[in-house]
């Protein structure tokens, strides 16, 4: 995809993609919302139990909710449908939290190349990349309507030709978009897939 530079490649060994790929550092989400939600649930549950245990310990009778829970736990066997469903839900929740803890998140941000900017890291939102591609498509002569979607590896541009030969418009569009793809400045620019429709 990258255009080989005419000079200077002889000095560096011809591995243009490898160091480029190694430099990709995703943005890692702080997982603030999930953490707040889990912390809130744990505070509520542990706080309620703490209150109830000290309440019982100081000689009171347990509240109805506490009695209901202990009755349910005592009367349901492990092979009860509710017990199995509950255990499956616990497993799924646990896996989900582990997944959230281990993955970067922030999939809407594409890392920008910042090799020549000291100490600065930057990301471009996928929506912004799509807006740039759509704008470039609309600037191409002959394109009447355009729509762009940018994924993490692929981008799709759909254009409607207003005038001119669709084949020529498509060629011009592809050229224009490949220039715009470079202008995005991403560490790993998405592959741009162009679809052109004739005038409807």
Partner 1 sequence: MSRTAVNRTLLALVGLVLLAGGALLLAGGLDLNHRWHLGLPSDWTVTDPHHAVLAPADRVRWRDAGWWWPSVLAGLAAATLLSLWWLLAQLRRGAVDRIAVPDTDDIPVRVRGAALARAVAEEAEQLPGVSRARVRLLGSARHPRARLALTLEPGAAPGPVLRDLSAGPLTHARTSAGLAVLPAEAVLKVEPGPVPRVR
Residue from 184, 187, 192, 194 binding partner 1 (CB under 8 A): 184
Instruction: Quote the CA–CA distance of 112 and 189 in Å, as a whole number.
Output: 9
Asked if 88 touches partner 1 (CB under 8 A), the answer is yes
Longest dimension (CA), the chain: 89
Q: Which of residues 113-132 bind partner 1 (CB under 8 A)?
A: 113-114, 116-125, 127-128, 131-132
- Nearest residue (CB) to partner 1, 14 versus 156: 156
Candidate segments 15-23, 85-93, 147-155, 188-196, binder of partner 1 by CB under 8 A: 85-93
Q: What is the DSSP letter of 52?
A: H
Q: By CB under 8 A, which span of 4-12, 78-86, 153-161, 189-197 interacts with partner 1? A: 78-86
Say whether residue 53 binds partner 1 (CB under 8 A): yes
- Draw the binding track, 143-182, toward partner 1 (x: CB under 8 A; -: no contact): ----------------------------------------
Rounded to whole angstroms, how far apart are CA atoms 39 and 133?
Answer: 41
What is the C-alpha separation between 1 and 178, in angstroms, rounded? Answer: 9
By the rule CB under 8 A, 138 interacts with partner 1: yes
Which member of 89, 153, 175, 198 binds partner 1 (CB under 8 A)? 89
Strand order across the beta sheet in which 191-197 lies? 143-150, 154-161, 191-197
Q: How many CB atoms lie within 10 A of CB 190?
A: 21
Cβ proximity to partner 1, 18 vs 58, nearer residue = 58
Q: Which of 97, 107, 165, 195 binds partner 1 (CB under 8 A)?
A: 97
Residue 24 interacts with partner 1 (CB under 8 A): yes or no = no
DSSP state of 61: P
Nearest residue to 142 via CA among 165, 121, 125, 119? 165
Residue whose tokens read 């897939």: 193
């Amino acid at each position: 995809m990258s255009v080989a530079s005419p000079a200077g490649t002889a000095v560096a060994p011809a591995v243009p993609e490898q160091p480029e790929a190694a430099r990709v550092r995703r943005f890692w989400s702080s997982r603030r919302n999930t953490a707040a939600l889990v912390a809130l649930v744990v505070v509520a549950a542990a706080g309620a139990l703490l209150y109830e245990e000290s309440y019982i310990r100081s000689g009171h009778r347990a509240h109805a909710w506490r009695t209901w829970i202990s009755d349910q736990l005592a009367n349901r066997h492990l092979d009860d449908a509710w017990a199995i469903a509950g255990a499956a839900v616990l497993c799924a929740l646990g896996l989900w939290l582990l997944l959230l803890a281990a993955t970067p998140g922030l999939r809407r941000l594409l890392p920008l190349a910042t090799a020549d900017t000291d100490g600065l890291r930057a990301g471009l939102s996928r929506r912004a990349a799509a807006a740039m591609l759509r704008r470039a498509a609309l600037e191409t002569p002959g394109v009447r309507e355009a729509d762009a979607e940018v994924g993490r590896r692929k981008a799709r541009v759909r254009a409607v030709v207003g005038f001119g030969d669709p084949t020529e418009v498509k060629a011009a569009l592809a050229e224009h978009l490949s220039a715009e793809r470079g202008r995005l400045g991403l560490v790993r620019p998405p592959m741009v897939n162009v679809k052109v429709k004739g005038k409807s």
